[in-house]
Structure 1
Amino acid sequence: MISTYRQNYNAAFSEEKYHEFVEGIKADWPEQLDFRVAETPVFVPAALKNKLIEACESFVDVIVGPHFKVKTQHAIPLSQHVPHENDHASFLAIDFAICKDSDGELIPQLIELQGFPSIFGFQSYVTEKFREYFPIPAEFSNYFSGVRSQAEYIAKLKEVIVADENPENVILLEIYPEQQKTRIDFTVTEAFLGVKAVCYTKIKKKDRKLYYEKDGRELEIKRIYNRLIFDDLTNFPDLQTDFNLTDDIDVTWVGHPNWFFRISKYTLPYLQSPYVPETRFLSEYGDEFPADLENYVLKPLFSFAGSGVKIHVELQDLKEICDPENWILQRKVNYEPVIQAPDGLVKCEIRMLYVWKDNAPRPELLTSLSRLSRGEMIGVRFNKDFTWVGGTTCFYEP
């Protein structure tokens, strides 16, 4: 997106260097990398950076507004309501497609937002790895909010996730973490913060307290860095556990499960902005659907990682839905291919990542990640056998 830096990067790039880069990651974290890292970072010009921040902060204004919790109360399924919800989310992940406006200027368009953490640990690690192997301008940064180094970034994460607790009394919660595609992030997070990934099935409950085993010792869990979503548990209907997510327990949730529902696709219809494509609950249409359904995408409210999304919508699809209040219809956006690869242009999505300290009035923008695509959608199954696609990082022009 910044032609000079793109030309310099591509001129220095080679398949051999990229192979060394990937093998370097695998050497640092053996058998942990289970998704494709793209061949290039994204160089984001200052004008686009400012639009991304402006868009995000306008959404934050809505989230911190006085009526947000009332509006989103019905987002939480009754059977999945977790006690002791805190005043605000601990994390925000806000996804934008990079497009062009009518004047030909780059503009972000909101795709989705989540009150849920992303790969905060791995993202900082891989950014430094890009600097190690490729020519990255020293004045460009992947951090925000005054953060100037990885050490400062880790300190910010620690404030949110660990707070004043001993890291041994804080866990990263997942279901079978060793099988997750993002497990490399769990490993990096433990290296950065001392917080161990623990399987949901390995936790013991005694009265109102939770415990896990580490090095033969039984340790009390006081804070849970939550990476587990209810959707994942539906894949294991016969799962036997000592405690349920909905139990009333003495623990502090870092990323309370209720906020996964509150700040989600459910929030999109409440956001009015040049950076938000038209989005409405399907139930709002009654029987009068848009005539140009080819320009819309249908999304279930309560799904994750693109599950259930329909990009070729037909009238019959809408008529067959028996719970339209749990679906949204969103006007499609046209991803602009803006990343110059050696063999063509590549589409780009940027996820802005916020952390939100306990009792802080607003969340704090900390970093971002990007995903590159040549397929019909962003995602692994739409980009098989392509190069210059996958997860990567952003470097922002000062």
Structure 2
Amino acid sequence: MIPAIRNTYNQQFTTEKYKAFLEGVADDAGIAPAFRIAETPVFVPKALTNKLVTACEEIIDVLLRPDFKTLTQDAIPPSLKVPNENDHPHFIVIDFAVTREEDGTLAPQLIELQGFPTMFAFQEVMARQFKLHFDIPSNFSNYFNELDDYTYYKLLKEVIIGEFPPEEVILLEVKPEEQKTRIDFYRTEKMLGIATVCITELILEGKKLYYLRNGVKTPIQRIFNRIIFDDLQKQADTLGEHVDLFQELEVEWITHPNWFYRISKYMMPFIHSDYVPKSWFLHEIPVLPTDLENYVLKPLFSFAGQGVLIDVTQADIDQISNPENWILQRKVQYAPAIITPTGPAICEIRMIYVWEDGAARPMLVHNLARISKSKMIGVGFNSKDTWVGGSCCFFEEVQSGY
């Protein structure tokens, strides 16, 4: 995105450096990634950084509306509501496509958002390994709010573990060893000292949860939740006996599962910003646009891009029996803004927020990027390309206060 820096990086790139970088990532995390990591980070110019931050803060303003919970009361499917929801999510991630405006300047457009954690531990590893193996300009940072590697992990420890002993806090997932994101679980364990536990390993006594840590029954005070509950519901019959997480439990959720649905595509029709494509609940559109080819259909209750219809037709809409569970969104045109030795690529940038208990607003802390040369963004859609996959951003002249 910054021609001089991009050209220098491409010219200095070697497969040997990339191989050493990947080996460093695996050594640091304790396991090799189960997805492709791109050959390059994304260098974000200051003007685009400012637009990204502005877009995020406009979205956060909607989240801070006093009527937000009323506004999103139908966002949580009744069968997926979990008791004891707290006042706010501890984590928010906001995904933007990088596009071009009419004047040719780069601009973000919102793609999706979630009240859910992301690859917190792994993204730090990736950024640090990029800095170790490649020449990253000193006036670029992967962090915001003057964080560094030490203060970033200190913040995560405070939010995820708090005052509890690490052994009484777990990272909870469904079949964690089968997840593509398991490298993040390994790194989280290594840095925070908490165990990754499958839902089938939970022990319930009354309303208290326990797990076996090195053969010793250990109480669980907090759950760092990585379960997507509609995915859990789909797999429930194949998991065998496991604890019902939809009941009253004496445990703290970091973050509570209900926020995954409240902060999601469901919010998009309520956000009015130059950086958010126009969106409607499908059942509330009085007249359908005549240029449906310029729109996408998204199911409200899905994840990882599943079920999204890109080339919308009237026939697609006619076949939908539950329009209240879909949104129609103006299509976003990605800009081929990243020049690579094997052709131009598009990208998405995920802005990562942490919201401490007692804080008035969530704080922007880190990022994630996905680089693609296909029609779909995501690490699963680029298995045959190079210079694509998961990545991270380095932002030019990141300022205090972001």
Query: Equivalents in 2 of 1:160, 1:304: separation in Å?
Result: 25
| Aligned counterpart, 1:335 | 334
| Aligned counterpart, 2:361 | 362
Letter in 1 for 2:300: L
Q: Secondary structure of the residue that 1:257 maps to in structure 2?
A: coil
The 8 Å contact of residues 32 and 183 in structure 1, kept in 2 or not, is answered as no
Query: Equivalents in 2 of 1:265, 1:332: separation in Å?
Result: 14
The 8 Å contact of residues 31 and 186 in structure 2, kept in 1 or not, is answered as no
| Aligned counterpart, 2:63 | 63
The range that moved more, 98-107 or 7-16, is 7-16
| Aligned counterpart, 2:266 | 266
The 8 Å contact of residues 121 and 188 in structure 2, kept in 1 or not, is answered as yes
Query: Equivalents in 2 of 1:392, 1:195: separation in Å?
Result: 25
| Aligned counterpart, 1:379 | 378
Gaps of 5+ in 2: 398-402
Does residue 1:27 correspond to 2:32, yes or no? Answer: no
Residues 292-307 of structure 1: pairs in structure 2 closer than 5 A? 292-307=291-306
| Aligned counterpart, 2:317 | 318
Query: Equivalents in 2 of 1:50, 1:8: separation in Å?
Result: 24
Query: Equivalents in 2 of 1:384, 1:311: separation in Å?
Result: 20
| Aligned counterpart, 2:231 | 232
Query: Equivalents in 2 of 1:28, 1:140: separation in Å?
Result: 22
- Residue 26 of structure 1 and its aligned partner are, at CA, apart by 2.6
- Residue 19 of structure 1 and its aligned partner are, at CA, apart by 1.7
Query: Equivalents in 1 of 2:380, 2:178: separation in Å?
Result: 18
Residues 88-127 of structure 1: pairs in structure 2 closer than 5 A? 88-127=88-127
The 8 Å contact of residues 379 and 390 in structure 2, kept in 1 or not, is answered as no
The range that moved more, 166-175 or 22-31, is 22-31
The 8 Å contact of residues 348 and 373 in structure 1, kept in 2 or not, is answered as yes
Residues 173-192 of structure 1: pairs in structure 2 closer than 5 A? 173-192=172-191
Does residue 1:4 correspond to 2:1, yes or no? Answer: no
| Aligned counterpart, 2:194 | 195
- Residue 32 of structure 1 and its aligned partner are, at CA, apart by 3.9
The 8 Å contact of residues 342 and 386 in structure 2, kept in 1 or not, is answered as no
Q: Secondary structure of the residue that 2:157 maps to in structure 1?
A: helix
Query: Equivalents in 1 of 2:271, 2:28: separation in Å?
Result: 42
| Aligned counterpart, 1:255 | 255
- Residue 196 of structure 1 and its aligned partner are, at CA, apart by 1.3
| Aligned counterpart, 1:277 | 277
- Residue 191 of structure 1 and its aligned partner are, at CA, apart by 1.1
Query: Equivalents in 2 of 1:382, 1:191: separation in Å?
Result: 30
Query: Equivalents in 2 of 1:222, 1:46: separation in Å?
Result: 42
- Residue 242 of structure 1 and its aligned partner are, at CA, apart by 4.0
The range that moved more, 23-32 or 155-164, is 23-32
Q: Secondary structure of the residue that 1:87 maps to in structure 2?
A: coil
Q: Secondary structure of the residue that 1:7 maps to in structure 2?
A: helix
| TM-score with structure 2 setting the length | 0.96
Q: Secondary structure of the residue that 1:73 maps to in structure 2?
A: coil
Letter in 1 for 2:352: L
The 8 Å contact of residues 225 and 254 in structure 1, kept in 2 or not, is answered as yes
- Alpha-carbon RMSD across the aligned residues, in angstroms, is 1.2
The 8 Å contact of residues 231 and 304 in structure 1, kept in 2 or not, is answered as no
- Residue 373 of structure 1 and its aligned partner are, at CA, apart by 0.5
Letter in 2 for 1:388: W
Letter in 1 for 2:135: P
Residues 193-232 of structure 1: pairs in structure 2 closer than 5 A? 193-232=192-231
Residue-by-residue CA offset, 1:340-374 (whole Å, 9 max, x unaligned): 10122110110000011112221110000100000
Letter in 2 for 1:254: I
Gaps of 5+ in 1: none
| Aligned counterpart, 1:171 | 170
| Aligned counterpart, 2:400 | none
Query: Equivalents in 2 of 1:175, 1:123: separation in Å?
Result: 22
Letter in 2 for 1:395: F
- Residue 235 of structure 1 and its aligned partner are, at CA, apart by 2.8
Query: Equivalents in 1 of 2:365, 2:380: separation in Å?
Result: 29
Does residue 1:396 correspond to 2:388, yes or no? Answer: no
Letter in 1 for 2:11: A
